[in-house]
Amino acid sequence: MAKKKSAKTARAKKAAPRKRKAMSAKSGNGGARSLTLRSASPSFTVNDLDKSLGWYRDVLGFDVEETWKDDGKVIGVSLKAGDVSFMIGQDDWKKGRDRKKGEGFRMFCTTKKSVDDIAKRIESKGGTLDQGPTDQPWGARVISLIDPDGFKITIANEF
């Protein structure tokens, strides 16, 4: 017959921090280290490259880093803002013209600049904020916006 644990012992075990096995620097794939990244560059397929380029460059404030052409026609652009690059490419419509873009995706970016100032600049350039400057409980002030194709972007300034 199993012994019944006292309530005191059960509470003590529940409150005690769990010990976790330390993960090895080596994984099971031939000794390679776990994934280590230094940056990320999202790539968005857009409906109207010129319209999206204007929005990212003129409204949001990205600089054009590189332009990609095919047979002399611009098919994509790499954009840069500080250390962050976004890539936008013209949809070739091979997957249909009615597919939704931006569903279930949000790009979260951080900045040292004032999001209030960024919000004012975006609005002065004709852009619309999905959410104006708002303090978040995790210690950030954020703005949110949606690009012409429905891709959601949050810009946060940690304070």
> Residue 65's domain is classified under what CATH number?
3.10.180.10
Which pTM does this prediction carry?
A: 0.75
Beta strand ranges found along the chain (DSSP E): 43-46, 63-70, 73-81, 84-90, 106-110, 129-136, 140-146, 152-158
What is the domain range of residue 135? 41-92+101-158
- Domain membership of residue 30 (yes or no) is no
More confident: 52 or 4: 52
| Nearest CA-CA partner of 107 in 151, 54, 156 | 151
- Domain membership of residue 33 (yes or no) is no
Report the C-alpha gap between 147 and 52 in whole angstroms.
7
- Domain membership of residue 27 (yes or no) is no
- Per-residue model confidence as pLDDT tens digits over 98-136: 888 888 889 999 999 999 999 999 999 999 999 999 999
- Domain membership of residue 87 (yes or no) is yes
For residue 132, what pLDDT is reported? Answer: 97
Confidence of residue 63 (pLDDT cuts 50, 70, 90): very high
pLDDT at 23 over 50: no
Give the chain's domain count.
1
Strand partners, 106: 152
- Domain membership of residue 145 (yes or no) is yes
- Domain membership of residue 77 (yes or no) is yes
